[in-house]
Chains A and B, each alone.
Chain A
Amino acid sequence: MAILVVAEHDNAALGSATLNTVAAARQIGDEVHLLVAGSGCGSVAEASAAIEGVSKVLVADNAAYSHQLAENVSLLVAELGKGYSHILTSASTSGKNYLPRVAALLDVDQISDIIRVDSADTFARPIYAGNAIATVQSSAPIKVITVRSTGFDPVSATGGSAAVEQLDSAQDAGISSFVSEEMAKSDRPELGGAEIVVSGGRGMGNGENFEILYKLADKLGAAVGASRAAVDAGFVPNDMQVGQTGKIVAPNLYVAVGISGAIQHLAGMKDSKVIVAINKDEEAPIFQVADYGLVADLFEAVPELEGKL
């Protein structure tokens, strides 16, 4: 049976995490269908059809799906999903929001945040803030799964030529409505997919001081992240948080500045290829995972680093 992947998008552009999710699906089976549920999402459907390894794209274009409200999207995915062996989506806030609802509607358990596919019914996922990896086998008739993007190399966004099929579905549960949104604007790369991430912690002292990290990030073409301490102190908005309860990143280079390295933060970045820590506290736990540690005052070291790059 085929595998259904639900695309991640904002109605205008396809989210890059979808490519990682398709890669996970391809490790499970050969026939992968992609569902695009949204409103005015024609360009997303087009982009989806071009993804390598996708054989069919299903498009549900309706106002009921415009803001991905879980109550509406879950009805659509559960209805459609009955004909599939697996339903996958990325472990983004959107996927985490509606997919467990789909699983409950189908009366099956869900497997969250997989990082490895062992076989069509066996998967690995981190538990306890990434301090243990559980290998889980599912006997559910339909496997409902969210995929951690950093666990899978993306498939190519081009080269595919899937058939596009329009669905005339309009599932509106009528119990919730979208009111407003406030999205952080940034010219820097998206945190989840960036090659280089520069993150600041409590050691930054205040929000204005993050300016030196932004300068360094711009020199490196990097995204900027933060620890929970920096977010809680109001230095930066929450969507920049890296950790167990924030975003999970695994860039080529992660530069932790003024971050002590609590378990919850390490959960979000310790799969980075190279970790650099800049901290004036020689005993900070971050040095136990850093490939290169610099014990220095960040207010001197960061501008110097930026200047010399």
Chain B
Amino acid sequence: MKILVAVKRVIDYNVKVRVKADHSDVDLTNVKMAINPFCEIAVEEAVRLKEKGVATEVVAVSLGTKESQEQIRTALALGADRGILVETDEKLGALSVAKLLKAIVDEEKPDLVILGKQAIDSDNNQTGQMLAALAGLPQGTFASELTVEDGKASVTREVDGGLQTVSLSLPAIVTTDLRLNEPRYASLPNIMKAKRKPLDTKTPADLGVEVASSLTTLKVEPPAERSAGIKVGSVDELIEKLKTEAKVI
């Protein structure tokens, strides 16, 4: 079976972002970019399914500017077979991404699509669910365990209060939680090999999708700063402060 994995280029998770002085957006110039951590987990899971003999082909797709090629190459170095870049300079909202991915799903007809549960920049947690709705497919979101057999996917999901297991008929959409797996490191030979793997480039127009959003960002501001606190010297002093100064206990 074929697995499609969607990967997003985002700011590296260790970088502390800065808001632009004109409050139009966060400043991404000269900032280290990387594959979204949840997407990396999605690639790893797809590659593991291939290594188990469940999957025969893993296709990595990314949507965005030309630079997103780097993240597709990362996915290829981790073990994906080929890549598709849907290139656009437009800022894509989750619904547009889901529509573009739906068009790719119609073309590629994968049995399973794996995405991260959320991108660490927009923090939306929407795309997988929207894709599932548009394609009329079942969804296993926030997956911490995935088993595929007999035309069904069994997904253990991380929910408030514990774990829930659902059974989905294939094809299906799965979004990854952090505990699904531990992504491998790409070895240098695999990085070299990845450079020769095929990578198709398309545009939203090729896919017949009009990219538009009903959302306008009016401004982006830094959050309220917390004023620096004090260090206390002992447990007694801490209790004293909490009782009389902060009045929280």
Contacts and interface: CB of A to CB of B under 8 A. Distances in A.
Interface of A: 67, 69-71, 74, 92-94, 96-105, 107-113, 122, 126-140, 173, 175-184, 192, 196, 220, 228, 231-232, 237-239, 244-245, 247, 252-253, 263-264, 270, 273-276, 287-296, 301, 304-305, 308-309
A70 B130 CA distance: 11
Dominant SS among interface residues on chain B: mixed
A308 B11 CA distance: 45
B238 to A, nearest CB: 5
Nearest to B134: A104
A67 B120 contact: no
Contact of A132 (B160, B161, B166, B220): B220
A275 B166 CA distance: 38
A228 B178 contact: yes
A198 to B, nearest CB: 11
Contacts of A292: 229-232, 238, 241-242, 246
Nearest to A222: B249
B218 to A, nearest CB: 5
B215 interface: yes
A83 B213 CA distance: 22
* Most chain A CB atoms below 10 A, which of B19, B120, B128: B120
Interface stretch (B54-62, B82-90, B137-145): B137-145
B30 interface: no
Contacts of B98: 104
Contacts of B179: 231-232, 238
B217 interface: yes
B231 A289 contact: no
A246 B19 CA distance: 24
Contacts of B144: 238
B53 interface: no
Interface in B115-129: 117-118, 120-129
Contacts, number: 250
Given A100-B129, A132-B221, A228-B178, A181 B138 contact: no
B154 interface: yes
B208 interface: no
24 contacts: A67-B164, A96-B129, A103-B130, A104-B129, A104-B134, A105-B133, A122-B218, A128-B121, A129-B123, A133-B221, A181-B159, A181-B162, A182-B164, A183-B163, A239-B160, A252-B248, A263-B13, A263-B14, A264-B13, A292-B241, A293-B230, A296-B235, A304-B235, A309-B249
A17 to B, nearest CB: 9
A304 B169 CA distance: 54
Nearest to A97: B141
A134 B248 CA distance: 31
A245 B177 contact: yes
B167 A139 contact: no
Contacts of B26: 127-128, 131-132
Determine which residue in A92, A136, A238 has the highest number of CB atoms from chain B within 10 A of its CB, and name it.
A238
Interface of B: 11, 13-14, 16-17, 19, 26, 93-95, 98, 117-118, 120-134, 136-139, 141-142, 144, 154, 157-169, 177-179, 213-223, 226, 228-232, 234-236, 238-239, 241-242, 246, 248-249
Contacts of A70: 129, 132, 139, 141
A93 B133 contact: no
Given A274-B242, A308-B236, A308-B239, A239 B223 contact: no
B214 A101 contact: no
A179 B153 CA distance: 12
Contact of B95 (A104, A113, A294): A104
Contacts of A293: 229-232
A135 B229 contact: no
Given A175-B169, A176-B166, A100 B217 contact: no
B249 A239 contact: no
A39 to B, nearest CB: 15
A271 B166 CA distance: 34
Given A94-B159, A100-B129, A132-B220, A138 B169 contact: no
B95 A109 contact: yes
Given A99-B129, A139-B215, 10 more contacts: A71-B132, A102-B133, A103-B126, A107-B95, A133-B221, A134-B217, A176-B166, A178-B165, A182-B163, A308-B235
A138 B17 CA distance: 25
A277 B235 CA distance: 12
A260 to B, nearest CB: 13
Given A110-B126, A309-B239, A136 B213 contact: no
Contacts of B232: 292-294
A247 B123 contact: no
A138 B214 contact: yes
Closest 9 CB pairs between A and B? Answer: A100-B129, A104-B133, A104-B130, A100-B126, A291-B229, A183-B162, A176-B138, A140-B214, A253-B248
Nearest to A270: B226
A89 to B, nearest CB: 13
